Amino acid sequence: MFFLFPDPHFKKSKHKWRIINQTLLAEYAYVLKVGVGRIYIATDVHDLFEWMDSRLSSHPLFLKLSEEDANQDPTVSLLFESTEEGRKVSRAGGNKWKAVYQRISDPYEAT
C-alpha cells in the first residue's frame, strides 16, 4: 500500500481524517499478507511524517524496516518522484521523508 504525499489535515480537529490512524491501520493489516505486505509512506510535511511514523511504529502488526532493508526494495527509489506532488517538491528543493513498514504476524495470536 502506498501513501504518497497525502493531505496533511493540519488542524487538530481534522486529524481523525488522516489516512493513517489506528482504526484504518487495523483494516490495512487485515488485507496485507503477513511477511509480504508493505506500507510505503512519503511526505514533504515533517509533522505528518512523524504522525504516520509514530502510528505505524506503535502498531503491533507492522514493523518498520531499517533504512538499509528499505533501500534494498527497488520500489523505494521511486517513492519521491512517482507522483506529481513529489516532483513538485523536488523542483522547489523541498525536504521529503519516507519509510517502509512490513506486515508481521500477530504477536498475540496463538500459534
Distance of CA 34 to the CA centre of its chain: 16
Q: Does the pLDDT value for residue 71 go beyond 70?
A: yes
Q: CA 5, CA 98: separation in Å to the nearest integer?
A: 10
Q: What is the pLDDT of residues 4-53, one digit of tens each?
A: 999 887 888 877 778 899 899 999 999 999 999 999 999 999 999 999 99
**77-87 burial string, b = 16+ CB within 10 Å, else e?**
eebbebeebbe
pLDDT at residue 110, rounded to an integer? 64
- At residue 65 the predicted structure's pLDDT band, cuts being 50, 70 and 90, is very high
Residue 62, pLDDT > 80, answer: yes
- Homologous superfamily of the 2-103 domain (CATH): Vaccinia Virus protein VP39 (3.40.50.150)
DSSP letter string over 2-50? EEES-----SGGGGGGSSS-HHHHHHHHHHSPTTT-EEEEEES-HHHHH
Please indicate whether residue 44 is annotated as part of the active site: no
Question: In this predicted structure, what is the pLDDT of residue 82?
Answer: 87
